[in-house]
Structure 1
């Protein structure tokens, strides 16, 4: 993945751009080859003739991707891909733009440039116009312009040619480039590398697994849409959770729950700007009655109508492809606790330019009122069941967390009456949930207050502060989850059939939750060993999707998944040896 907070793109192991929406994360996928469009194209490839192998990695501590291609005759080509981002005029320069640089490293390589965006979710080929140094691709509502120092005719006609010098391809808005292409591309590369390395330098990372944590942190940052502060769950739509399933969903929206996890993980690393920008987004969503949907569009859209897209066959032909997500209409009561938890540090962290005050607290109190009213009411739950509703333990605990944190915030603000008010409510809720969600016969907590099923999300009860990690009830819950939901090196969300049958892949963040819980109850060596095995299942550049196959190492689900990288960061922070061990 490459990106800059305005745009994101996915690049395969041969350096081909196969996914990218314009003009934003949720836009029309001009590059949709990943989902097999009916029309030929939907990609941007610099093809090396007779290519026999490839190498790929990120430039250290950046979002700049380096791909090296080798041909059968000794020719070697390097491709650098990035989206420009740096601080300029007291704001971030982050155009809707991808820049590709390609240069020969050895031999006499011959390449062919194929730039074939599609329009309307792969439904048609856009109109193309060209001039002496550019090509324009006219998409609905947005025109892409390629500025390049390569021969325009060779690009237009996809003619192979000898690559005897460095070339640059700047794909962005339909604006004239008023300087030399090579100069702009090189300066952009230098400034973008400097930006990311400065950003990484400010992180408070653990001693161990530094590269994995840094890559996960950059990935999370790339999933925040700078225009509004929204954080998408993933960059893609409709990559199935496992082979030949209808579990294909559009994740290019902001789930308040997922985003709260991202904020908390980056806060642990000291990257608090993400929290400030995200909470600005959330503040625009809270209505007078405090009602929240589980997800919104990155432009704060409230209606995300779901429909199937017939012009895309799907990942490996495994449709359907969906646009929009019907979960926006579901009741998911944990959302209230998610927003309050994401906001809490705002009132305690003295580093922030705009810390939380009474106005923000009053806004959050609306969410507390909803949480108190709904904590015993049925909802669709964390996993967004479409065919059933019930009272879910996690939803109830998150409602408790909303009231508990409001009490703490009120105390910090010296609003003593409000602190007492919310603490009294939190105490009542805690007693009631403890009564309903604990199974005394089995000695552990269960998923629903009436179902008795197990759910991996119960592993979060200690992290949320609902129980202490040394509480025997929590240790028994960890044991029960591992016993009933563990599958090899992975963890299922649940085992009971849902709307689409029985789950067939492990859910990556659940595995990280289990690792974290093992460490919390003192089983640290077991946790470390499992953590190392899961890290080994990342892809070749250190990224994770939503799910992992139960056998082998195949990634499934939308990509890259913020949930998964949150879990990696949190587990690494808990498990790492302290810096004093090295220093």
Structure 2
């Protein structure tokens, strides 16, 4: 069984597939990220897969083609060398700044022998609806049709394949210079019939489209350029282009602890991560991507009734109801049950969302010189809500399900909401609200400084009146609440490094036991150190945690502190967002630029 780090991401900016290092597609959810899978062996033996590999012994290496999310796996056998190239098609004509706006929903796989001769084995076991459906498989004039529930698949190939019940299999030999291409087309039952693509041409178009996007967008010239570049491509692959939403991860139910029950569905867009996401898009991609993400957030929220709390997350199309259920027929990744679809955190009250949205507005303030009346109304209502509710308990940024408390990060982001609203007041035609917002902001700040600080711990703690440390306190300098070199911030950073850190790995809070280290916390630490002028320490943390990515530069949500393995949903957008923002902060520190909470101008741009 492959482990999480064995997988590569394929994306078409609509959905995602994961391919193991031995050539098996064990996860694919067409036509969008949160759709039911047609391959899900990642989460259970009955989930379905598509394997292409040499017969007999082999070793592998792999890489993405430069500037793309097109994967090349090289199989070295006793008789020859086989290349397997995998991609989700971007379709013909996709170029420039908005790849993936439309998608043919086709999984492309090409094999070619570059030396000697290789015997190749193909096995396709599609199992729609997370493995619940054993499909009907039959040959047709246009290809092999796989039908089950709402899914229709057509497999085309230029090699003979056989139907064996619900399986498709093939065996053939390729010699140096020979190649074969396969294309698996997906549609829903109600969609028009499939018109098969030319697989070779589609693969060439996809490579060119990705490289065009990379060439146009990636002009970041700060430190760690290649790592930032790869993370930018990952974020593009995790963006649902029809709306601009960025999903938290491509997967559901990959565990925070192997064998445990903390297995969540992350195939949705979180407003709670909004400002960090927008900054990373601005630094690593272009303003267009950041604008579309902001527009998706605003459109998803819509108008608020009095007393409504702002949802922390939405479906990629803006859906609110993400009610969670379990898939009892799947045993989960390495026995990690339950397997969940949907996420009940959508119902939580998290006050930090108010600050996230107003911070996004502040970052884009020069680009949003003439906001619409609807946007003005929304932003004013968010500031009013922060003024009215900052004293209330909530569920916190970590989405705990044990009840509400007065969490530090929630108060901090309420302060951000009010601070940015006051600064944006002229653009919001809200000068009359400034005294009320300013008074609430002052009270909130005083409460954080008094009740969030523990003299005994010499640090800001996770919640008012608590002695437990929380890595979320590392965002205090990042959001501009206190300077990075403030004595209280330096003391808090030192305490977190001492008590939550093990080398470069940082846990979320004290008392977490064997819980994994959250990768974003390490990048927050690097960013905070850079803002404190501790550049060498920041770079050491950054480089150490970044080196823990898999061989393709992909990061999960967490790292198991016992053995260093990647755990949690994969690849995790927030980890790559943290990488980009920490690299930028290090570049700011190196150049002597004063960190700012305003619009980002990346080093060298």
Task: State whether TM-score is above 0.5.
Answer: yes
How far, CA to CA, are the matches of 2:144 and 2:151 in structure 1? 14
Aligned twin of 1:67: 73
Aligned twin of 1:244: 259
1:188 and 2:205 aligned: yes
Alignment partner of 1:452 out of 467, 482, 486:
467
1:27 and 2:35 aligned: yes
How far, CA to CA, are the matches of 1:407 and 1:61 in structure 2? 42
Q: What's the secondary structure of 1:146's corresponding residue?
A: strand
Report if the CA contact (8 A) 1:492-1:505 is conserved: yes
How far, CA to CA, are the matches of 1:178 and 1:24 in structure 2? 20
How far, CA to CA, are the matches of 2:546 and 2:84 in structure 1? 27
Q: What's the secondary structure of 1:31's corresponding residue?
A: coil
1:346 and 2:364 aligned: yes
Aligned twin of 2:371: 356
Aligned twin of 1:3: 11
How far, CA to CA, are the matches of 1:515 and 1:190 in structure 2? 34
Alignment partner of 2:183 out of 170, 173, 181:
170
Q: What is the aligned residue count?
A: 572
Aligned twin of 1:384: 399
Aligned twin of 1:564: 575
Aligned twin of 2:287: 272
Root-mean-square deviation over aligned CA pairs: 2.7
Q: What's the secondary structure of 2:246's corresponding residue?
A: coil
Alignment partner of 2:337 out of 319, 322, 334:
319
How far, CA to CA, are the matches of 2:481 and 2:325 in structure 1? 39
1:77 and 2:86 aligned: no
Report if the CA contact (8 A) 1:6-1:95 is conserved: no
Aligned twin of 2:139: 130
Q: 1:88/1:142 Cα in 2 relative to 1: closer, same or farther (>3 Å)?
A: farther
Report if the CA contact (8 A) 2:68-2:210 is conserved: yes
Report if the CA contact (8 A) 2:54-2:77 is conserved: yes
Report if the CA contact (8 A) 1:313-1:320 is conserved: yes
Give the Å deviation of 1:8.
0.8
Aligned twin of 1:427: 442
With structure 1 as the length reference, what TM-score do the two structures score?
A: 0.91
Aligned twin of 1:286: 302
Give the Å deviation of 1:223.
1.3
Aligned twin of 2:317: 299
Could you report, residue by residue, the CA deviation over 1:282-327 in whole angstroms, capped at 9, with x for unpaired residues? 2232333252122222232222222221121111222221111121
1:461 and 2:479 aligned: no
- Taking the TM superposition and a 5 Å limit, the aligned residue runs for 1:362-373 are 362-373=377-388
Q: What's the secondary structure of 1:388's corresponding residue?
A: coil
Q: 1:74/1:493 Cα in 2 relative to 1: closer, same or farther (>3 Å)?
A: same
Q: 1:355/1:127 Cα in 2 relative to 1: closer, same or farther (>3 Å)?
A: farther
How far, CA to CA, are the matches of 2:278 and 2:68 in structure 1? 20
> Where does structure 1 lack aligned partners over 5 or more consecutive residues?
none
Q: 1:379/1:176 Cα in 2 relative to 1: closer, same or farther (>3 Å)?
A: closer
Q: 1:348/1:424 Cα in 2 relative to 1: closer, same or farther (>3 Å)?
A: farther
Q: What's the secondary structure of 1:171's corresponding residue?
A: strand
Aligned twin of 2:6: none
